[in-house]
Amino acid sequence: MIRVPASLVTVGKRFRYDIFDENGQLLLMRGMLVASEPQVAIIKRQGFRKPAKARAVSNFGAISWISDRLAVMEEDILEKRDGGVWRKRIENLVKDFVDIVDAEPDAAFANLHLETRHSYFVVHSMMAAVVCARLALARGYSEQARARLISAALTHDFGIIDLQRQISHDSGLTPAQTARIRQHGSESVRMLRKFGIDDPVWLNAIEDHHEYLDGSGYAGKQEADIAEPARILAIADAISAMLRPRPYRERIFASQALERLFVDDFQRYDRSILEALFWDLGFYPPGSLVRLASRELGVAVRNTPGLLDSPVVAILTDPDGHPLLAPVLRDPHNPDYAIVEALDPSLANRVGRVIEDCWATPGMSAGRQAKIA
């Protein structure tokens, strides 16, 4: 069984799964309210859930199973608990991650784009891993090489999990925190070596993911010394960081993040990888909330091949802001449904669970066609 992440357990919380103790005794039935602090303490100390593989190809919530498991790893590191056979845990995590992301890459990205439950470490690492998975496919990586890159993305911040938790409560960075951040690639590598991980491609990608082609990286390495996996992880790390808010800076929209990477920082990054990212995600990646010319609120479901600014959009509210019972696809090529502005992802909380149906409904996954109004 899988331990329930302690960070998710609060008074008033309802879980979408049954919670058991380690002996299999039911502690909390699915959908029941966590009613008191003593109950919180028991679940944090003893709570486990049964593993559930991805249920359907187009399932918005499937990737949350991986996020929950990464959150448990985060807590094991923070509490200095014995993580068991770390390499095997990470390899199993990556295998299940690949199965889910390959089944529905757009739903996985959208879930993380809109994620609010987990810590910055979990969401940032997961989003970086999804971006790496997509870029590795675009670059023609073998299955093994792709798994190494995804492993690096999921673990590249292991060495500063405690600092990231501290920063989440601070309004800015101290000089000491900044200095440690500049060393976090090496810190993560040292930790992973202690866990028995010695794969050079995996570790080198982490070590060099803040090295830039213009020599401005943390260690000042030059272009010829930076391998492609590190170049991909550098871009994935940057885009996922910009799409998440921090106490000392606001999140920015995907179009702004891509412009910053492609225009302001283009000398830092491998241009061919940036172009692959640009065309893969577009200006409105899956999970982007948008307002249409029709005044409807919608979410980008998938990119339209060859078009940067015209994703397929599922509307979530009517023009007066009333949530719909089921999403309806719109085509922004139609002037009546053109995208007029990007919206803060936190607005997704106003539309309820209908947003999950955008990738569960036949025809809304990347591999199928649907009738579009």
93-134 pLDDT, tens digit per residue, is 999 999 999 988 999 999 999 988 889 999 999 999 999 999
Q: Quick one: pLDDT band at residue 231, thresholds 50, 70, 90?
A: very high
Same domain, 149 and 267: yes
Same domain, 35 and 183: no
Tell me how crowded residue 199 is: count the other CB atoms within 10 A of its CB: 14
CATH of the domain at 186: 1.10.3210.10
Euclidean distance between CA atoms 126 and 71, whole angstroms: 10
193 has a pLDDT exceeding 50? yes
Residue 367 lies in a domain: no
* Helical ranges in the chain per DSSP H: 37-46, 64-78, 86-103, 105-114, 120-138, 143-155, 161-167, 175-182, 184-194, 200-207, 228-242, 254-259, 271-281
The stretch 283-312 carries a mean pLDDT of 91
Q: Quick one: pLDDT band at residue 57, thresholds 50, 70, 90?
A: very low
* Residue 272 and residue 246 in contact, taking contact as beta carbons nearer than 8 Å: no
Residue 248 lies in a domain: yes
pLDDT at residue 136, rounded to an integer: 97
Residue 193 lies in a domain: yes
170 has a pLDDT exceeding 70? no
Out of 251, 281, 311, pick the residue that ends a domain: 281
Same domain, 28 and 89: no
How confident is the prediction for the chain on average, in pLDDT? 86
Same domain, 17 and 90: no
pLDDT at residue 152, rounded to an integer: 98
The stretch 284-301 carries a mean pLDDT of 94
Residue 369 lies in a domain: no
Instruction: Please name which of 103, 163, 158 lies closest in space to residue 359, comparing C-alpha atoms.
Output: 103
Same domain, 204 and 305: no
Helix (H, G, I), strand (E, B) or coil at 313: strand
71 has a pLDDT exceeding 50? yes
What is the residue range of 34's domain?
1-51
Out of 260, 281, 302, pick the residue that ends a domain: 281
pLDDT digits (tens, 9 = 90+) for 250-277: 778 888 998 899 888 889 999 999 999 9
Q: Quick one: pLDDT band at residue 52, thresholds 50, 70, 90?
A: low
The stretch 43-58 carries a mean pLDDT of 63
Same domain, 304 and 238: no
Same domain, 20 and 160: no
Same domain, 26 and 70: no
Out of 233, 252, 281, pick the residue that ends a domain: 281
pLDDT at residue 373, rounded to an integer: 59
Q: What are phi and psi of 13, to 5 degrees?
A: -75, 140
Q: What is the pTM of this model?
A: 0.83
Residue 373 lies in a domain: no
Same domain, 253 and 347: no
78 has a pLDDT exceeding 80? yes
55 has a pLDDT exceeding 50? no
Helix (H, G, I), strand (E, B) or coil at 81: coil
Euclidean distance between CA atoms 21 and 71, whole angstroms: 18
Same domain, 260 and 120: yes
Same domain, 111 and 187: yes
Euclidean distance between CA atoms 24 and 109, whole angstroms: 33
Go through the chain and tell me how many residues it has.
Answer: 373
Residue 196 lies in a domain: yes
Same domain, 153 and 199: yes
* Residue 301 and residue 363 in contact, taking contact as beta carbons nearer than 8 Å: no
Q: Quick one: pLDDT band at residue 248, thresholds 50, 70, 90?
A: low
Residue 364 lies in a domain: no
Domain count, the chain: 3
Euclidean distance between CA atoms 36 and 43, whole angstroms: 11
